[in-house]
Amino acid sequence: MKRSGNADLPLHYGYVPTWLAERMAKLGLAVVETMIMEYGNSEVLSRLSDPFWFQSLGAVMGMDWHSSGITTSVMGALKRAINPHAKELGIYICGGKGKQSTQTPNELLKVSETAGLNGNHLVKCSKLSAKVDNTAVQDGFQLYTHNFIVNDKGQWTVIQQGMNPNSKTARRYHWHSETLTSFVSDPHTAICGQITGRILNMADARAADSQTSIMSMAAEQPERMQGLGPRTLQSLALVSEVIYGTPARFTDPARFAFAHGGKDGHPFPVPIKVYDETLSVLQNSIHRSKLGNTDKAEAIKKLTHIAQNAEQGFTPNADFDKVIERERNQSWRYGGRTFFGEAKKPEEKQLKLF
């Protein structure tokens, strides 16, 4: 098998606070469940094998977009949320960080017995992918997390990460059973830390066309979006991109951090009120779709097309720092929260600048 991609990330220590971990699990389940209803579970594996898409998913879930912690936090959240519904969804997540990674073979054998898969073959694939990235490729990174995601057809994706204490970076490796056929001996960096491409920021003055388009849709079909405010629609537009966007839309994962910020406050505190409202809309959409009513799901899907159309001829604001500053100053209005505490209302003089 051939490795499908990898990413280098700065090491971030600490843990994900409970208030964010619970929301990440709910949002991860909603995204995966929606994708399965739209495209099937094979597409979920394909997306997970793309380092750019995975990084975008982590950013939209509220993790600091460039953090090494995205890997363990996102996979931990997905495992907790998806495995209780594995039989229904047809996706099983095995392994994890540290000692959990050593349980992968046993977990795969149990899953295989339940789903009627070739367990010995899957265990061999798991061990082989780990052996290659940990031993055959001498790049200075030692694996400390290994996740093996398999569907009910026997298709699989591996997401594993190694640490290099000298460079203080982590390297994440992605494998996919369906599209990759041979080994690559020289790893490549899929994601650098620099901002590239366009950034979808609905709060920016130059994004007026995007604001107008989305609010126009909400005005035309208020029953579909429950009268949501522009800030929640901004987040929903980015979540919609993760679910329905094309590969070219994920070349700049950092822009997805504009949905729900990051736990360490980068680019801004996690807006709890917006996060919960986004979750409510997605969960309601899934429930209605299962009952045969797809109007809300179609409205969410339409956000992707509206955002893409609005970006035509749109010039991003060159003053990136000012955009971030605006989001941070408004954070307290949306229940902004970070690992360090709740966002505070800025001084009145500072508010007048925006």
162 lies in the same domain as 254: no
The pLDDT-based confidence of 173 (bands split at 50, 70, 90) is confident
pLDDT computed for residue 225 by the predictor:
54
57 lies in the same domain as 170: yes
Sheet holding 156-164, edge to edge: 3-10, 169-176, 156-164, 142-151, 91-97
97 lies in the same domain as 219: no
Q: For residue 353, tell me if it sits in a domain.
A: no
61 lies in the same domain as 169: yes
Measured CA to CA, the distance from residue 310 to residue 213 in angstroms comes to: 7
Instruction: Quick: pLDDT tens for 238-287.
Output: 899 899 887 777 777 778 888 888 888 888 999 999 999 999 999 999 99
Q: How many domains does the chain have?
A: 2
Last residue of a domain, one of 176, 194, 227: 176
Answer for the pair 311, 199: CB distance below 8 angstroms, yes or no. no
293 lies in the same domain as 167: no
Can you spell out the DSSP letters for 285-329?
HHHHHHTT--HHHHHHHHHHHHHHHHTTTPPPPS-HHHHHHHHHH
Half-sphere exposure of 349 (CA within 13 A, CB side): 0
The pLDDT-based confidence of 199 (bands split at 50, 70, 90) is very low
Q: For residue 249, tell me if it sits in a domain.
A: yes
Can you spell out the DSSP letters for 194-211?
S--S----TTSGGGHHHH
pLDDT computed for residue 10 by the predictor:
59
Q: For residue 242, tell me if it sits in a domain.
A: yes
In the chain, the largest separation of any two C-alpha atoms, in whole Å, equals: 66
Last residue of a domain, one of 176, 194, 220: 176
Measured CA to CA, the distance from residue 255 to residue 262 in angstroms comes to: 12
159 lies in the same domain as 216: no
287 lies in the same domain as 326: yes
133 lies in the same domain as 44: yes
Q: For residue 354, tell me if it sits in a domain.
A: no
Measured CA to CA, the distance from residue 55 to residue 3 in angstroms comes to: 17
Q: For residue 192, tell me if it sits in a domain.
A: no
pLDDT at 206 over 80: no
Residue 325 burial by Cβ neighbours in a 10 Å radius (0-12, 13-18, 19+): middle
Measured CA to CA, the distance from residue 208 to residue 217 in angstroms comes to: 14
323 lies in the same domain as 258: yes
**pTM reported for the whole predicted model:** 0.80
Q: For residue 231, tell me if it sits in a domain.
A: yes
Q: For residue 191, tell me if it sits in a domain.
A: no
242 lies in the same domain as 118: no
Domain that holds residue 223: 205-344
Q: For residue 196, tell me if it sits in a domain.
A: no
162 lies in the same domain as 270: no
238 lies in the same domain as 159: no
Instruction: Quick: pLDDT tens for 44-62.
Output: 999 998 888 998 999 999 9
